[in-house]
Chains A and B, each alone.
Chain A
Amino acid sequence: MKAGAEERAAHHAAREIGGEDVVFVGIGAPSVAAVLAKRTHAPDSTLIYESGVYDANPSGPPTSTGSPEVVEGAARISDMLSVFADLQAGRFDVAVLSAAQVDVRGNLNSSVIAPGSESPRLLVGSGGAHDISTLVDRLVIVMAHDRRRIVDEVDFVTSPRRGGPDRSTILVTSEARFDVTDAGLVLTGVRAGRDPDEVVAELALITPVTLRDPLEQLSEPGDDSLQAQRAFMAGSRG
């Protein structure tokens, strides 16, 4: 089986979840990554959706955090206030998010592209993303490996990265893994067999990217990963 770019990104992001992590999960690519982890190497992880669903095990990709797929097989349905209360109280280990744009400081934009221009592109807004990026200790951001998505400076800071000694932010794409630091991006891993300089150059960033030595070689998703992802996308628990 050959993996597509989205499948590689999900595979790499899933590796960030392990053990008994309690995971706050967003819709879209974050859900694929979190469910993949749960279905493969992290069966004891606990997935939580902002609609109030705790310990979810979605059968297929949910279109909204309140969708039937999220509820089916879940341990508990509470409400949104409880989920954000637990987030603020530090009861979650990690969150997985995506956005329209991310910048080299780890700030996320889901509000507007090109504000102040003749035709700004108005987006859906924060949802819970601002609350998550502000409050969670470990944040995993999944993005397409695309220069329009990963930028020097986001057009609008919807969800700021909060730095600090006990906090970490990881940016994962189909081609790379970065630590996001106060000083910018640190490339820690690259898709096996690819030239790291070329991978970084594809993002056309002005801000320098630091390359960690040695770089981790990110393995291609194996058949188990692809089968699990594809079963999930097809709405099967297979």
Chain B
Amino acid sequence: MSRSRLVELAEAVADHVRPGDTVFLGGFGHSVPYGLAHEVLRQRITGLTVVKAGADIVLDELVAGGAVAKVIAGYVGNPGIGLAHGYARARAARTIEVEEWTNFSVVLRLEAARLGLPFLPTRVLRDGDLPSLLGERLATVICPFTGEPLTAVPALVPDVALVHAQRATAEGMVQLWGVAGDTVTGARAARRVVVTVEEIVPADQVRDWPESTILSGPQVAAICHLPGGAEPSYVAGYHGRDDAAFRRYDETSRDPDRLAEHLSALAVNR
């Protein structure tokens, strides 16, 4: 049996999320790693490049809390409600750099990394105003078989992926079921993965149901037992989505002072 990777949240983040890292955020509406993100804020880790196809308010909190230098994303908002206000203010004030991609192209960039390839070709990002903003981050390749011009999107290798899942063994077999969105692609593309889970389980429980195992082996850097670590998002089989919290966040985050209070409360309450 391999060594235990089970550590406290503070230790996992201190050891594996470094200033300036490129960080992939797991979760997609479901199982969003709020607990890990809040620990990043608590430890005042800064200069991060955050990667996500479609990001919800966890990214807004990270930006407003000063952790982020750059965002690479297809969507940043408060899903179903509206804008990410802290993020929008930071963009307007140019305190963060933003690369605006699309959900598919972000996933393809991560998939290229997961495949160990320098790029993947696609038919998107050929027209409209996004390609000119992305400039040299895109290139055109000609298919050697058909002659079709395609857009090459470069591999994006996260230094670390932050993931919340239902359960894991102490040794790092991680099980996630329900909606994953871009979570598995991003986690498998990353150099290392830090995982919080609802439950730590013995290996035989995982081996009874291996089809739900999304990660195992040395890529998993740390496992933390953090029930509720995805709140206010939901976790299939554990708890529902706190829709009211997303509405409250919309109100709170409109006002920079109230948002700052909200963020400092996160830093105290753990």
Contacts and interface: CB of A to CB of B under 8 A. Distances in A.
A50 interface: yes
Contacts of B124: 88, 130-131, 134-135
B128 A66 contact: no
Contact of B180 (A52, A107, A120, A125): A52
B100 interface: yes
B102 A71 contact: no
A124 B77 contact: yes
Interface string B104-136: 110110010000000000111111111000000
Contact of A66 (B28, B73, B91, B130): B28
Contacts of B240: 68
B102 A120 contact: no
B73 A125 contact: yes
A81 B120 CA distance: 13
Contacts of B58: none
A46 interface: no
B121 to A, nearest CB: 10
Contact of B102 (A53, A63, A127, A156): A127
B179 A125 contact: no
Interface string B180-218: 111111000000000000000000000000000000000
B249 interface: no
Interface string B52-64: 0110100000000
B67 interface: no
Interface in B238-253: 240-241, 243, 246
Which of B56, B126, B127 has the most A CB atoms < 10 Å from its CB? B127
Contact of A126 (B84, B108, B130, B180): B130
Interface in B38-88: 53-54, 56, 73-77, 79-84, 88
Contact of A127 (B103, B180, B236): B103
Nearest to B247: A63
B227 interface: no
Nearest to A69: B241
B30 interface: yes
A67 interface: yes
A162 interface: yes
Contact of A64 (B79, B101, B107, B125): B79
A51 B128 contact: no
A128 B81 contact: no
Interface residue tally on A, bucketed by range: 35 or more
B185 A80 contact: yes
B185 A79 contact: yes
A107 B129 CA distance: 10
A80 B83 contact: no
A201 B242 CA distance: 43
A221 interface: no
A125 B234 contact: no
Nearest to A128: B103
Nearest to B31: A66
B92 interface: yes
B103 A50 contact: yes
A27 B181 contact: no
A123 interface: yes
Interface of A: 27-28, 50-53, 61-68, 70-71, 77, 79-81, 84, 87-88, 107, 111, 119-120, 122-131, 134-135, 156-160, 162
Q: Which 7 A-B pairs have the closest CB atoms?
A: A66-B29, A63-B80, A64-B79, A124-B77, A127-B75, A160-B128, A131-B104
Interface of B: 28-30, 53-54, 56, 73-77, 79-84, 88, 91-92, 100-105, 107-108, 111, 122-130, 177-185, 234, 236, 240-241, 243, 246
